[in-house]
Structure 1
């Protein structure tokens, strides 16, 4: 018993030297059923949570942290507390930084103003939700590899000048339920671009245009509140994953336009090596059995002839993966051996 007690005392303060710190306010809500907690609810437990976070950070001893992760409800009254958290992470040279805030109003979202955040050589991964990036400061992060921004408005000039120009080794860029009309991305290092839900920031132009000549992987999933998705330049693209849904209750979107969006995307992706069609897009795909749309049928023939259809789990989405590669002669032979409509119906039964 004595030895156990000594061991406990030695372990008591070891948490002060942990390289990874994770905070989630769900543990502070004083309700039995967390499912009944409103998504944007600033109750009495939130001030207690931020107080605990700052007290805990003040006792950490390591000068460098590998990872910092915070998820919490947020209101403007907690801006000072969150500023202290950002200052702490910059001072402790955090490598992987994640700040996920939940708020109810655009005007109370958290602005990141600290220069030490934007001019930082230690960040390798940044994940921000409901945070606004200061548009007049250019990010200078020579080691930043993965950047994910959610629930924010992204200006085209902000991406090109403020984010990409100062991130020479950035490989993956994710926008989750953000607003923009133009994604002009000419970074030579960026390989992967992901849109997880999206909407346009233009009142008279409810579509999004993507110019990203150097990316090799493009993923478009989630609810897209746009009337069209235009791929103006994705000439280096090798893999495309499509599993998006355009809400039918959107005033500017019609049922016919949903399949036109998918049709246009597939026509713009004729040069890629692999297309992954998810469940949501497959529903729309079934309405594209129209005479004259032969390029889509090329994909279908190749799936049936080579039996390369397979399920591929990617995050929370399931894709039907299609590998391109048949020659024109093989496709013409497939067209002769099976009817246009029957081939499509057989493929739909496979799904």
Structure 2
């Protein structure tokens, strides 16, 4: 059977990627509706190679009869409209942080914890994790299954697309300004992002961590295992697309580098490219436009017992957001909605 699908925030970077991904993966949709704010209503967005959709006003849209809604318009919009959609019988897959830590809302990366989807009916809402968390838990899951992870230390190198179209525009504008000797203005970011790195993503918490770092800790525990201890340092870097992470893992059982590589290579959605030579690793540039999470530079951490280090990259607009949301919808259709039909 086919499903009526709505994409909320269809004019944004992730919303457009959601539409592209739905079409690329031939999602069983009989109708796809593009929704955005009133000011965007009437504009057109692409769907697939040769189709366009006219954007409708989210504020006046009736979700009755819509089966699935993919939300990517920010937490304020999700807080207001996701419960309305859910109460109309539509299953919401939300990309904002608003519902992620709600105990009645499953937080899902399908390769890692698809079983959590069985609880979607409590609120009719499913949460998509933070982009940096999504790729991390895909890389951690096979190691956790093989040797039980105790502790993770992760440093992220996050592209400006994680801050949306405005972030990408600011990097472009600042870079051009520097080359032509124009003034550099900061609007989206707190400091200059062109030719710089900023150790600050989202607001600061009372303990000195940023909310982005807090998200990685809380979300990893909810998705993977509450016993895992995790600390993060999240950094914005002058890259347009693709998040990278340096990951330090301590496990309960000993795991050789060869065993770790094999476990990760066999895991769905994870690709190991690890050659100890020039160009023998993957960078954000190579992963842009790709669905997989890539792992490179796997080696032992000699400073702790049972320690491993690896490098992890992924397209944050795809696996970190749009692709993961569509994969949730695919799993929902296959394992739950069809059974209910």
TM-score, normalising length: structure 2: 0.29
1 or 2 for the larger relative contact order (CA 8 Å, sep ≥6)? 2
The two structures have a TM-score, normalised by structure 1, of 0.29
